[in-house]
Structure 1
Amino acid sequence: MAHKYETVAAGIRDTIAASLRPHDALPSERDLMSVYGVSRMTVRQAIAKLVDEGRVYNIHGSGTYVGSTDLFLKTPKLTSFTEDMMSRGFAASSRVLALTSVPATGEIARSLSIPVDSECTHIRRLRLADENPMAIEDVYLPREVLALEDFKLTESLYSQLDRAGHELHRAEQEIQAIALDDEQSRLLGVEPGTAALAVTRVSSSRRGQLIEYARTIYRADRYTFQLAVTRESEK
């Protein structure tokens, strides 16, 4: 049986599809409580689920608004690209651009705490949502984590890591604004010099083992990151 908040979330999705446009305001929490006959907590759980899906966004002190259908919101949760797209109802796919064994350069070696020139599996992919280019991803994994010959093109990388006992638990990310070069622009289907988001990620397991160094370049016109931050009280 579905939770109450899931029923409310489904109802709001239907309302958005039937009568609302991107950036239109949702009904207030009080109105939603009245329409669905539920508590404020249930309404907030439903809204939180829709925020995670990228369907709506909050403006503090103002309200909740319909998200843009052209914009993908990435929350701070550690999820794969496939999981991101599936949660929003899009079919994720990849085009493998390179699959090689390479020596770890200085930055990769430092990030993964392995000796320089250690053998790594390098996977370069064009990531797509409903066959539309979304990102270019370069992933480097120490050979002992995933050997080149063990990588399966038809399976999710994270699923393969989980099965091998290397479940990702934590990641540190750095986000930079860049301008796309000619090759990147061609792959992503935009003009050279177009703005993009370059995300460098280093992921580790629950035991603290460094598993993955990745650099992903996202189309900035279709992808954004949503972060929740708090301010500590002054002593």
Structure 2
Amino acid sequence: MIDKTSPMPLYFQIEEAIKQKIDKGEWESETMIPSEREFAENYEVSRMTVRQAINNLVNEGYLTRRKGKGTFVSAKKIEQKLLGLTSFTEDMKSRGFRPASRLISFQKTTAENRVAKALEIKEGQVIYEIRRVRLANDIPMAFETTYVPADLLELNESHIKQGSLYSEVENAGFVIDYATQSLEASISGEAESEILEITKGAAVLLIKRQTYLTTGRPLELVQSVYRGDRYKFMIDMKR
């Protein structure tokens, strides 16, 4: 229960009570929590107070709202260490998840200035543009847009649907060397929210990767939107 005589705000006390239930395992991942009305009646507080507590926990990643269904305890985040260059498929398999991709679009197009610079090709040169939803155990994890120079290798839709792009590249005789990657925090727009099955304005990670072959030539430019409630990146640091 909460202490109304405490200097601690009521919404904060409710947050802590919910966190304790989650941390102790009383409420497991994917459990639907009580409604705002039930919380308000139980704690004898206003629904506005309850809503503030729940909003804060959604923003922190403890809870997830599902449109038309309710609010649920978030699933444990998948951790990826920022060491070594692996594909999404390889990374998910190494963690015991079942990786899959849902192809949104696959087309040949011409490189605009920004993409051409990243791939070190001429503006207007033909490239592959691949948009995919990456899934782990059938749960959408990321919305990914990949650009690959069309003169580098021949790709078709079945290649992309069946497996990893990196496997196709290596099967074609190329050797992948390294990548540079940047991460930044953002919030989801309407399109990403619908594709990733999250609420509009939810926390996401924007990731940009440029991958290079051993020849020094850029292989791809990848721009991804990762769900902030399901994914986190880790790095080990030594002094």
TM-score tier by shorter-chain length is 0.5 to 0.7
Bigger relative contact order (CA 8 A; separation at least 6):
2
Aligned partner of 1:117 in structure 2 is: 124
Cα deviation for residue 22 of structure 1 reads 7.3
Q: Please, which moves more after superposition, 150-159 or 78-87?
A: 150-159
Distance 2:92 2:125 in 1: 33
Cα deviation for residue 156 of structure 1 reads 1.9
Q: SS of 2:86's equivalent?
A: coil
Please list, as runs of the form range in 1=range in 2, the aligned pairs for 1:1-235 lying within 5 A after superposition.
70-76=76-82, 77-149=84-156, 152=159, 153-231=161-239
Cα deviation for residue 151 of structure 1 reads 5.9
TM-superposition CA deviations, 1:113-154 (whole Å, max 9, x none)? 100111101111000000001000111000122334486121
Cα RMSD, aligned residues only: 2.2
Distance 1:107 1:166 in 2: 25
Distance 1:106 1:229 in 2: 36
Contact 1:173/1:200, CA 8 A, preserved across alignment = yes
Distance 1:167 1:89 in 2: 26
One-letter identity of the residue aligned with 1:207: T
Distance 1:105 1:220 in 2: 29
One-letter identity of the residue aligned with 1:72: I
Distance 2:167 2:200 in 1: 34
How many residues are matched?
168
Q: SS of 1:84's equivalent?
A: helix
Identity percentage over the alignment? Answer: 34
Q: SS of 1:82's equivalent?
A: helix
Cα deviation for residue 107 of structure 1 reads 1.3
Cα deviation for residue 167 of structure 1 reads 2.6
Distance 1:150 1:71 in 2: 30
Structure 2 regions of 5+ residues with no counterpart? Answer: 1-21, 25-73
Distance 1:147 1:177 in 2: 34
One-letter identity of the residue aligned with 2:149: P
Structure 1 regions of 5+ residues with no counterpart? Answer: 1-20, 24-67
Instruction: Calculate the TM-score normalised by the size of structure 1.
Output: 0.67
Contact 1:103/1:116, CA 8 A, preserved across alignment = yes
Instruction: Calculate the TM-score normalised by the size of structure 2.
Output: 0.66
